[in-house]
Amino acid sequence: MKSQLRFKLVAFACGAVFAGGAAAATITIINNDGAGEGFNDPTLVAPLPSNPEITLGAQRLSVVRAVANEWGALLRSSVEIKIRVAFNPLTCNGTSAVLGSAGALSAHANFANAPFPNTLYSAALANSLAGTDLRPTGMDNEDINSQYNSSYDSGTCITGVAGWYYSTSRTDATPANRTALFPVVFHEFAHGLGFQTFTSTTTGAFTGGVPDIWTRHLMDATSSQRWIQMTSNAQRVASAISDPNLVWAGGNVRVDKPLYLRSTPKLVVNAPAAIAGLKDAQPASFGPVPPSQGITGDMVLVIDGTAPSQDGCETLINPAALAGKIALIERGFCNFNVKVKRAQLAGAIAAVVYNNVASGLPGMGGIDATVIIPSYGILQADGNAILAQLGGNPVNATLGFDPSSAFAGTTRGFVRMNAPNPIQPGSSVSHFTADTSPDLLMGPAINLNLFNDADLTIPLFRDIGWKVNASPGLYIFAGDFEEF
């Protein structure tokens, strides 16, 4: 195929309009559960702030319908998208549980209006592109299959977890002993809508001998060769474990990444000169990402009055000193979000948690939608260096980014895909890298705080052919498709 690159600047950020496009997609949930179970479970439950239903089944159904409506509002299609959903008793024990799954039920190629010949598209996307339901008689009547773990509500999956939380809004805070279903479904539905490859990552073979749209955008960053151009299955197998060189070459993701990604996070110590410089840091999964210019202030060690008093696990007793400053906190004894929240309540503008072990950064996970200040985790050594200075001149620092670095999670300007060695079937290739900052909806490690943030998934969906409703983006390739 002749190489061709068609740039069409359709609209600038915030407000793209597609002439002649279909309306928001209609996504219909097909309740696949029998009477009295799953979505039809009549067990009475207390209504939630964001979910007024009063039976377990109805609350569950309300969540998946809310997710369907969310995706339906983001995507455009004249063909109804049908998702078959059930609650089933999936694998679980005290330390692990399968929460749920989703995927396309069929794939299609060479249909009318297909952007590329001999290229498989997942059912929902293929129907949308074709403008008609392509599923032939005898094939599954739905586009996507999805299921979620009913056993999770038994309280026997994951010790300490009581079950799902059926909120439909991120403002409805998830209790600490529950897992919000919404963000799990939001992530899984994205797979079913097309965020997946049908190419085997273990053999490199195309399904049915036909490459999929994913293979046209997966690229080895060192050779600039896309998966579809690779002449052997072995090349694709090697590429699938080539982290950090497996990238997404689609134009929309490439162009729109500045809207969603930041440079490598760093704690920038501005003063005193003895310890000034860039310090390795990892942002918390909760709370906001610092603005692009960073957030700057003097650092103050928290004091909670209970030994060890610098861990911030009890109410802080030095709020006057912390107000308007960056709180410095030691890791340990309580959750990260508890520490940061206490700093916030004391008036701090940001928080830095230093590790309590010699190696590594504290990967600050946790869930708390009420945390509104940014926070970073830093090395123990850097924390100790700051502590050593606090008794003298002020330590001034910025929760910022490495100005010389590329966007976190990118290689040569392309967003990386998950390509660990050895292969992690399903996780590899069909997710963005986990190295982005901030976390992305379709990263392999799911950040439930993202809830319904579609972020860079929307540009990727545009790359594979979805028409979308107005969202930030340059829409360089909207309406047409990049060829090579």
Partner 1 sequence: MNRQIFRAAVGASLLNVAVFACAAETSAKSASPTAPQTQGAVGMRIYVDPGTGAMVDRPVTAQHKSAAADDDAQFNQDNSGLRVVTHPDGSISIALEGRFQMATQAHKAEDGSIKYTCEDAEHSAQGEHTHAQPVSVAPIRDVR
* Residues 369-408 contacting partner 1, CB under 8 A: none
The answer to whether 347 contacts partner 1 (rule: CB under 8 A) is no
* Rounded-to-integer distance, Cα 231 and Cα 74, Å: 36
Pairing of strands 295-301, 326-330: parallel
Number of residues located near partner 1, criterion CB under 8 A: 103
| Under 8 Å between Cβ of 145 and 153 | no
Complex with partner 1: residue 91 or 224, whichever CB lies closer: 91
Distance CA 128, CA 137 (A): 18
Check: CB of residue 219 under 8 Å from CB of residue 251. Answer: no
Residues 410-469 contacting partner 1, CB under 8 A = 420-422, 424-427, 430-431, 433-435, 443-448
Q: Site mask, partner 1, residues 219-248, x = CB under 8 A?
A: ------------------------x-----
Nearest CA among 29, 81, 84, 83 for reference residue 58: 29
Mark the segment that binds partner 1 (CB under 8 A) among 56-64, 261-269, 332-340, 451-459.
332-340
* 32 to 71: interface string for partner 1, x by CB under 8 A: xxxxxx----------------------------------
Taking CB under 8 A as the rule, does residue 94 contact partner 1?
Answer: yes
Pairing outcome for strands 75-76 and 225-226: unpaired
Helix (H) / strand (E) element for 342: namely: helix 336-345
Tokens 């273990």 correspond to 202
One-letter identity of residue 192: G
Among 332, 347, 394, 472, binds partner 1 (CB under 8 A): 332
Neighbours of 437 (CB within 10 A): 18
Residue list 259-298, contact with partner 1 (CB under 8 A):
282, 285
Using CB under 8 A, which of 50, 51, 106, 380 touches partner 1?
106
Of residues 69, 88, 229, 270, which one binds partner 1 by CB under 8 A? 88
Separation of alpha carbons 455 and 79, rounded Å = 24
From 42-50, 267-275, 299-307, 364-372, span contacting partner 1 (CB under 8 A)? 364-372
Among 28, 31, 310, 389, binds partner 1 (CB under 8 A): 31
Among 174, 199, 344, 471, binds partner 1 (CB under 8 A): 199
DSSP assigned state of 275: G
Interhelix angle 457-464/251-260, rounded to 10 degrees, is 170
Site for partner 1 in 131-160 (CB under 8 A): 134-136, 138-142, 145, 147, 151, 157-160
